[in-house]
Amino acid sequence: MAELTHISGSGLYTAEQRARRDASGWTLVQGVLAPVQFAVFLGSLALVARFLATGDGYFAATFSIVLKTLTLYAIMVTGAVWEREVFGCYLFAPAFFWEDVVSMLVLALHTAYLAALAFGALSPRGQMLLALAAYASYVVNAAQFLWKLRLARLQGARALPEGAR
């Protein structure tokens, strides 16, 4: 609740943070990586579902999960750099605290999948179910970031002079 009060009371970004966000090249990187990661997720989800439904396509599903995990790592590392430029800390800035908490779960589940794959710790079906758990957490996290994007746009619209809206 404190986060909602912080966001609705003073906005997601201060004027200085918004200026740093808009000036940062990492903002564009995040804007490109997010839809790329989502597209990889959708393709991978279809391949995982196909494997679970038919038992066919293990290699394709596995490759897609590894690719999804690599895109996740890329967006997390660049996102941490972006957060540092905008908010002054690599993770857990107050405006994105809960998104970063859930991101840690997303990272943990994706990394657990890679470990299970590397060490043969789970059956192929178990690996795919672990991937689905990772994907479920990713969907929650993506929804959190879409919500924040909407809040940022609403805050930006309020910051514009009346004639510029």
Phi, psi of 129 (to 5 degrees): -70, -40
Residue 165 included in any domain: no
Q: How many structural domains is the chain composed of?
A: 1
**Domain assignment present for 4:** no
29-41, pLDDT tens digit by residue?
A: 999 999 999 999 9
Average pLDDT over residues 96-116: 97
Q: Is residue 1 part of a domain?
A: no
- Joined together, the tokens standing for residue 2 give 């404190």
- The domain in which residue 38 lies consists of 15-157
- Average pLDDT for residues 6-33, to the nearest whole number? 83
- The answer to whether residue 127 sits within a structural domain is yes
A 10 A CB-CB count for 100 gives: 20
What the block records as the tokens of 132 is 């689905």
Residue 48, domain member (yes or no): yes
Tokens, residue 148 = 């924040």
What would the mean pLDDT of 121-132 be, rounded to a whole number?
Answer: 98
- Would you state the structure tokens that stand for residue 153, as one six-digit string? 């746009």
Res. 158 pLDDT band, cuts 50 70 90:
low
Residue 71, in any domain of the structure: yes
In a domain, 50, yes or no: yes
In a domain, 37, yes or no: yes
Task: Find out whether 120 and 75 touch, Cβ atoms under 8 Å.
Answer: no
> Whole-structure pTM over 0.95, yes or no?
no
